[in-house]
């Protein structure tokens, strides 16, 4: 029995509907193509796969790749000095809120008030999210520059 050829993912789609036309174009051209998604899992992504020996021929037949929903909605932030996209958002104030709220919840739990401790945990998480949104700065991993949002917008 011959070993089947390995399949290679050549495109990723947000849903099976978006992959259908490309899949059909490959099948019509005589290339064995397979999709990984199904209609029962709409939150999952659909991959278009072909045998490893047919990758180049399949890519030549397909139209230019469209961006996925994730690529369209993910904001890109570049460093204002060096232009690097290796930027992360940091919020020390959020860490302080989480540490103090967590310590308070443990103290309340130690005194036997389970319901109060749960409420305190949820309140701490909500407050930490609001604090992170309001009090944060960006740090470039490449050059180390730190800046606030207003500096990026030119205000």
pLDDT single digits (tens) 140-152: 888 888 887 666 5
Range of the structural domain that residue 42 is part of = 7-72
Q: What is the mean pLDDT of residues 92-118?
A: 95
Residue 28 has pLDDT above 90, yes or no: yes
d(CA 130, CA 137): 14
**75 — pLDDT class (breaks 50, 70, 90):** low
Answer whether residue 130 is part of any domain.
Answer: yes
Contact 116, 67 (CB under 8 A): no
Task: Give the three-class secondary structure for 147.
Answer: strand
- Residue 87: which H helix or E strand, with range? strand 87-90
Answer whether residue 36 is part of any domain.
Answer: yes
Residue 42 has pLDDT above 60, yes or no: no
Token output for 134: 């309001």
Answer whether residue 80 is part of any domain.
Answer: no
Contact 10, 59 (CB under 8 A): yes
Q: What is the pTM of this model?
A: 0.46
State which of 21, 49, 72 marks the end of a domain: 72
Cβ burial of 91 (10 Å; 0-12, 13-18, 19+) is middle
Same domain, 36 and 93: no
Same domain, 12 and 60: yes
Answer whether residue 20 is part of any domain.
Answer: yes
């Amino acid at each position: 029995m011959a070993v089947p050829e390995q399949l290679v993912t050549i495109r990723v789609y947000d849903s099976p509907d978006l992959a259908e036309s490309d899949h059909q174009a490959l099948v019509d051209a005589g290339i064995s193509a397979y999709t990984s998604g199904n209609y029962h899992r709409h939150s999952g992504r659909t991959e278009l796969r072909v045998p490893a020996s047919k990758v180049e021929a399949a890519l030549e037949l397909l139209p230019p790749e469209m961006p996925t929903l994730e690529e369209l909605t993910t904001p890109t932030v570049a460093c204002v000095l060096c232009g690097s996209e290796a930027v992360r958002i940091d919020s020390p104030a959020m860490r302080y809120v989480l540490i103090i709220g967590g310590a308070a919840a443990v103290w309340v739990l130690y005194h036997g008030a389970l319901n109060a401790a749960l409420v305190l945990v949820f309140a701490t998480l909500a407050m930490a999210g609001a604090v992170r949104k309001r009090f944060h700065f960006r740090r470039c991993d490449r050059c180390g520059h730190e800046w606030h949002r207003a500096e990026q917008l030119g205000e």
